[in-house]
Amino acid sequence: MGQKKRGFLRLTCEEQLTELEDELQRGKVYEASLRSAKWVLHGLQEGEAIFVDPRTALVETLCHELIHRRFPRLSERTVDRLAKKLLVHLDQAGLWKWFQAYNRVKIKAPPKDVED
Ligand SMILES: [Zn+2]
């Protein structure tokens, strides 16, 4: 296991993902609300444990796309900055409210091909 680390950066994406699948097999991945007064955390690794908070990434993405729709003239950079700022501003109750609002309004859609 020790020698795996050294060459990781030189592996192909496919090989890197295989290695991460291997790491995922080890478990100890927890879904939890991550609370920090300072940071917007999507995840956290602490020793053997990995914590993931799906709410933050989701609400940030949602706010980002809502800003795009509401203010179509804003640049990608500005939208990104605004969405991140709003996430920092949200407290736990606010985050929860937005997560629930998303779950109420979301419509499951079939896979969508996106052209660039
Ligand atoms: Zn965008």
Q: Where does the pLDDT of residue 3 fall: very low under 50, low under 70, confident under 90, or very high at 90 and above?
A: low
**Pairing mode, strands 43-46 and 49-52:** antiparallel
CA of 36 to the centre of ligand 1 (A): 25
CA of 15 to the centre of ligand 1 (A): 30
CA of 27 to the centre of ligand 1 (A): 33
> Tens digit of pLDDT for each residue in 59-115?
999 999 999 999 999 999 999 999 999 998 898 899 999 999 999 999 999 989 998
> Tens digit of pLDDT for each residue in 19-61?
999 999 999 999 998 888 788 889 999 999 999 999 999 999 9
Contacting residues for 30 by C-beta, under 8 A, at least 6 apart: 49, 50, 51, 52
The pLDDT of residue 4 is: 56
Q: Is 43 within 8 Å of 51 (Cβ atoms)? A: yes
The pLDDT of residue 5 is: 62
Contacting residues for 48 by C-beta, under 8 A, at least 6 apart: 26, 28
Q: Is 34 within 8 Å of 51 (Cβ atoms)? A: yes
CA of 111 to the centre of ligand 1 (A): 19
Assessment of whether the complete model's pTM goes beyond 0.95: no
Spatial distance between the Cα atoms of 9 and 32, rounded to a whole number of angstroms: 30
Spatial distance between the Cα atoms of 15 and 17, rounded to a whole number of angstroms: 5
